[in-house]
C-alpha cells in the first residue's frame, strides 16, 4: 500500500527544535515532536529546495539541527516559478495538497510550483 505523501516545510523542523519558552511555543514543539517521533512513519515525507534554502538562511541557534532533521528526505524537483497564482492578502499558511494527479504547491512564501511527477524519488 502506498503511503500518503506529506510535504515537510520549514515549520516542522523549526518547531521540532523550538527554544522559546512561552506556552504556545512549547505546545507547538511538543505536538511537532510527537508527530515526528511517532507518526511520520505512516507517511512518505518529502521536502523541496525552498525549504532547505530557508533553513540555511539566517543565524538561528538550532540551524544545524533543523537542516539535519530533514536532510535525508527526498527533494521534490522545482518545475517552474510560481505561476502568478493570486494569493491576495492572505496571512495564513496552508499545508500543500499532494496527490498523485495534482501538483504540490508550497506555502505562499516559497513562490514555487512543485510537481510530484518529476520528483527525484
Structure pTM? 0.64
Beta pairing class for 5-7 and 112-114: unpaired
> Which structural domain range is residue 91 located in?
5-118
Q: Burial level of 74, CB count in 10 A (0-12/13-18/19+)?
A: middle
For 50-81, the pLDDT digits (tens) are 899 999 997 889 999 999 999 999 998 765 44
The SS3 call for residue 112 is: strand
Residue 27 has pLDDT above 90, yes or no: yes
Residue 103 has pLDDT above 60, yes or no: no
Domain count, the chain: 1
Share of the chain above pLDDT 90, in %: 57
CA distance 13 to 44: 16
The SS3 call for residue 61 is: coil
Residue 107 has pLDDT above 50, yes or no: no
Amino acid at each position: 500500500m502506498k503511503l500518503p505523501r506529506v510535504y515537510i516545510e520549514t515549520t516542522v523542523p523549526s518547531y521540532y527544535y523550538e527554544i522559546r519558552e512561552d506556552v504556545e511555543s512549547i505546545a507547538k514543539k511538543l505536538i511537532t515532536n510527537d508527530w515526528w517521533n511517532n507518526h511520520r512513519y505512516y507517511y512518505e515525507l518529502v521536502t523541496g529546495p525552498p525549504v532547505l534554502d530557508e533553513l540555511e538562511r539566517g543565524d538561528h541557534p538550532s540551524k544545524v539541527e533543523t537542516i539535519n532533521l530533514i536532510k535525508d528526505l527526498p527533494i521534490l524537483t522545482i518545475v517552474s516559478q510560481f505561476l502568478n497564482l493570486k494569493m491576495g492578502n492572505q496571512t495564513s499558511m496552508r499545508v500543500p495538497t499532494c496527490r498523485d494527479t495534482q501538483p504540490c504547491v508550497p506555502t505562499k512564501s516559497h513562490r514555487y510550483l512543485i510537481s510530484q511527477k518529476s520528483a527525484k524519488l
